[in-house]
């Protein structure tokens, strides 16, 4: 996984991993969630990938748009 730069500060996201049709997000709590095209929609996933790479806005986007639309939770 790649470290999330958290340029705005205060994000609950620690790291991410981008796949072809998904993104894994690790929160500072250690929980890892997988969001996929089928669970959250292609447009949302592609937007999340861009936010992850820029290091700003991903946590806010998740909480406002795709909070419960994850495919699965890897650990809590």
Return the domain boundaries, the chain: 2-70
Q: Which of 63, 61, 31 is nearest to 45 (CA)?
A: 61
* Torsion angle in degrees (nearest 10) through CA of 5, 71, 75, 59: 30
What mean pLDDT is predicted for residues 23-37? 96
pLDDT at 1: 94
Q: Which long-range contacts (CB under 8 A, 24 or more apart) does 7-16 make?
A: 7/54, 7/55, 7/56, 8/56, 8/57, 11/58, 11/59, 12/59, 13/58, 13/59, 13/62, 16/52, 16/58
pLDDT band at 10; cut points 50, 70, 90: confident
Tokens of 59: 């946590």
pLDDT in tens, 46-61: 999 999 999 999 999 9
């Amino acid at each position: 996984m790649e470290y999330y730069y958290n340029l705005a500060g205060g994000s609950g996201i620690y790291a991410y991993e981008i796949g072809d049709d998904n993104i894994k997000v690790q929160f500072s709590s250690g929980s890892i969630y997988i969001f996929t095209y089928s669970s959250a929609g292609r447009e949302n996933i592609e937007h999340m990938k861009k936010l992850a790479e820029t290091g700003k806005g991903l946590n806010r986007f998740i909480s406002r748009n795709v909070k419960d639309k994850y495919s699965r939770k890897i650990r809590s």
